[in-house]
Amino acid sequence: MTSVDELIYDWNQMDGNCEVSGLQFDDETLRDGLQSPSARDPDLGQKIELLHLMDSLGIQTADLGLPGAGGRPREDILKLAKEISDQRLSIQANVACRTVVQDIEPVVELSQKSGIPIEVCAFIGSSSIRQYAEGWELEDILGHTRKALTYARDNNLPVMYVTEDTSRAHPDTIKALYTLAIELGAKRICVCDTVGHSTPVGVRGVVGYVKKLVEDLGADVGVDWHGHQDRGLGIANSLAAIEAGATRIHGTALGVGERTGNAAMDQLLENCKLLGYIDNDLTKLPDYVSKAAEYIDIPFPANYPVLGDDAFETGTGVHAAAVIKAMKKGDAGLADLVYSGVPASMVGREQQIGVGPMSGKSNVLFCLERLGVEANDENVEKVLAKAKVSKSLMTDDEIRATVASA
């Protein structure tokens, strides 16, 4: 029997994919995602549910919030960290802190009370435009970095050093900041496209530069990529970062985040699995995005890639006919891919056939059989005639009612 792989000539593989091993993901939904102007801060129980879904998807780390904000945000961080500890989740915790001691101080107590290490994501602006607007000099930034990271090191806190706006920063500035951070014990450094400036070419340039810097220093340090969606290139840029050597990629559920949002974690996982970079079980992805949409109160359009209601449904006659013929061959894999670039089964879904104004008889026959309604010529013609004058796909109840009508 011919395999589906033999039936697809994959132009995506023409240059060969990069060798990727040990790729990690950092979920920013509960921190950067909640900075969306339209976001609602979920209740603690809802945050815990999302944290468990992240863990079930094989996501390695989650940003639990901003401890420097104090109050309820800090209380939620502690309870989420304790959930990780008490439930023995595989996912690890980190928090975002300005590169100042007063933001990092609470993390010492949070780590002690929760009983788990909490990674400090110490962020500071790096681009010349940011320095000019803030009235900073490079020596000021280096001074803040030295003081804050020394405090973190002395208190045995793991550190990821985050340079905001790296994608518009001068190479000499990047070199000076990352070199100091590595000397002070940072185990990860994060390249940020804070304002969504980058194109894939730019990503490969800046990540490649940083990767070489780490190699030249002889350091055992991971390189993260944190991208935004302002130019609509969030996923493309994340994949370019992986190709350039980034080992941990950040994202948020449905791409929620500041302004137009971040790279979408769900799309990132889907693409990395299709490229063979990971082998995570993604059948919980529909739950992850639907719960995030509900709890954060963000739009979840029907045509959203892979996980929207329309992602695997067709009402067009010629398309449906191909899927139905594939189904009749008894090959589930063939039916899943003959008219789909993503297998629905990868995310626990299935191909769907609807009946609407662009449908043919094959659509109607399929739907009648699915509904257990006699698929004789009269019923098929009645449903097809109704579909041709409808404005949208017919619901199951409409199909039944049409057949039952005199």
DSSP string, 181-233: HHHTT-SEEEEEETTS---HHHHHHHHHHHHHHHHHHT---EEEEEEB-TTS-
Residue 11 within any structural domain of the chain: no
Kindly report, residue by residue over 30-47, the tens digit of the pLDDT: 999 999 999 999 999 999
Q: Tell the residue number behind the tokens 């023995």, with chain if given.
A: 88
- Are 223 and 350 found together in one domain? no
The whole-number pLDDT of residue 13 equals 76
Is residue 230 over pLDDT 80? yes
Question: For the residues 371-383, what does the mean pLDDT come to?
Answer: 92
Residue 64 within any structural domain of the chain: yes
**DSSP state, residue 93:** E
Residue 232 burial (C-beta neighbours within 10 Å; 0-12, 13-18, 19+): exposed
Question: For the residues 350-359, what does the mean pLDDT come to?
Answer: 92
CA distance 97 to 159: 10
The answer to whether residues 167 and 191 touch, using CB atoms and an 8 Å cutoff, is: yes
Q: Look at 18-27, 220-229, 260-269 and tell me which has the smallest mean pLDDT.
A: 18-27
Helix (H, G, I), strand (E, B) or coil at 235: helix
- Are 261 and 317 found together in one domain? no
- Are 101 and 169 found together in one domain? yes
Domain boundary among 271, 296, 321: 296
Per-residue pLDDT band at 239 (split at 50, 70, 90): very high
Per-residue pLDDT band at 256 (split at 50, 70, 90): very high
- Residue 260 belongs to domain with CATH number: 3.20.20.70
Residue 3 within any structural domain of the chain: no
Backbone angles phi, psi at 119, to 5 degrees: -70, 130
- Output the CA torsion 250→253→255→259 (10° steps): -100
CA distance 35 to 16: 38
Domain boundary among 246, 269, 296: 296
Rounded CA Rg of the chain? 25
DSSP string, 145-181: HHHHHHHHHHTT--EEEEEETGGGS-HHHHHHHHHHH
CA distance 329 to 256: 41
Residue 5 within any structural domain of the chain: no
The whole-number pLDDT of residue 187 equals 97
CA distance 15 to 275: 13
- Are 346 and 256 found together in one domain? no
The whole-number pLDDT of residue 331 equals 85
**DSSP state, residue 254:** G
Is residue 1 over pLDDT 90? no
Q: Which of 369, 398, 393, 370 is nearest to 382 (CA)?
A: 398
Q: Which of 267, 264, 243 is nearest to 255 (CA)?
A: 264
Residue 341 within any structural domain of the chain: yes
Count of domains forming the chain: 2
Question: For the residues 283-297, what does the mean pLDDT come to?
Answer: 97
CA distance 159 to 361: 62
Helix (H, G, I), strand (E, B) or coil at 98: strand
Is residue 268 over pLDDT 70? yes
- pTM for the model stands at 0.93
Q: Look at 8-22, 145-159, 163-177, 265-279 and tell me which has the smallest mean pLDDT.
A: 8-22
The whole-number pLDDT of residue 16 equals 57
Q: Look at 10-24, 122-136, 153-167, 367-381 and tell me which has the smallest mean pLDDT.
A: 10-24
- Are 269 and 395 found together in one domain? no
**Percentage of residues in the chain having pLDDT higher than 70:** 98
The whole-number pLDDT of residue 15 equals 66
Residue 10 within any structural domain of the chain: no
- Are 107 and 251 found together in one domain? yes
Residue 304 within any structural domain of the chain: no
- Are 283 and 360 found together in one domain? no
- Are 218 and 358 found together in one domain? no
Helix (H, G, I), strand (E, B) or coil at 56: helix
Q: Which of 34, 1, 25 is nearest to 285 (CA)?
A: 25
Q: Look at 203-217, 317-331, 374-388 and tell me which has the smallest mean pLDDT.
A: 317-331
The answer to whether residues 402 and 383 touch, using CB atoms and an 8 Å cutoff, is: yes
Q: Tell the residue number behind the tokens 């993901």, with chain if given.
A: 25
Domain boundary among 238, 269, 296: 296
Is residue 182 over pLDDT 90? yes
The whole-number pLDDT of residue 335 equals 87
- Are 341 and 288 found together in one domain? no
CA distance 246 to 189: 10
Kindly report, residue by residue over 307-347, the tens digit of the pLDDT: 999 999 998 888 888 888 988 888 888 989 988 999 999 99
Helix (H, G, I), strand (E, B) or coil at 287: helix
Question: For the residues 208-221, what does the mean pLDDT come to?
Answer: 98
The whole-number pLDDT of residue 19 equals 83
Residue 206 within any structural domain of the chain: yes
Structure tokens at 274: 């299709």
CB environment 214-230: b (16+ within 10 A), e (fewer): beeeebebbbbbbbbbb
Per-residue pLDDT band at 298 (split at 50, 70, 90): very high
- Are 290 and 256 found together in one domain? yes
Q: Tell the residue number behind the tokens 């992240």, with chain if given.
A: 54
Q: Which of 137, 145, 70, 141 is nearest to 109 (CA)?
A: 70
The whole-number pLDDT of residue 126 equals 96
**DSSP state, residue 258:** S
- Are 255 and 120 found together in one domain? yes
Kindly report, residue by residue over 53-109, the tens digit of the pLDDT: 999 999 999 999 999 998 999 999 999 999 999 999 999 999 999 999 999 999 999
- Are 163 and 25 found together in one domain? yes
The answer to whether residues 219 and 184 touch, using CB atoms and an 8 Å cutoff, is: no
The whole-number pLDDT of residue 14 equals 61
The answer to whether residues 97 and 107 touch, using CB atoms and an 8 Å cutoff, is: yes
As a whole number, the mean pLDDT across the chain is: 94
The whole-number pLDDT of residue 131 equals 95
Bridging pattern class, strands 61-63 and 92-98: parallel
- Output the CA torsion 332→335→337→343 (10° steps): -50
CB proximity list for 294: less than 8 A, separation 6 or greater: none
Q: Domain residues for 200? A: 18-296
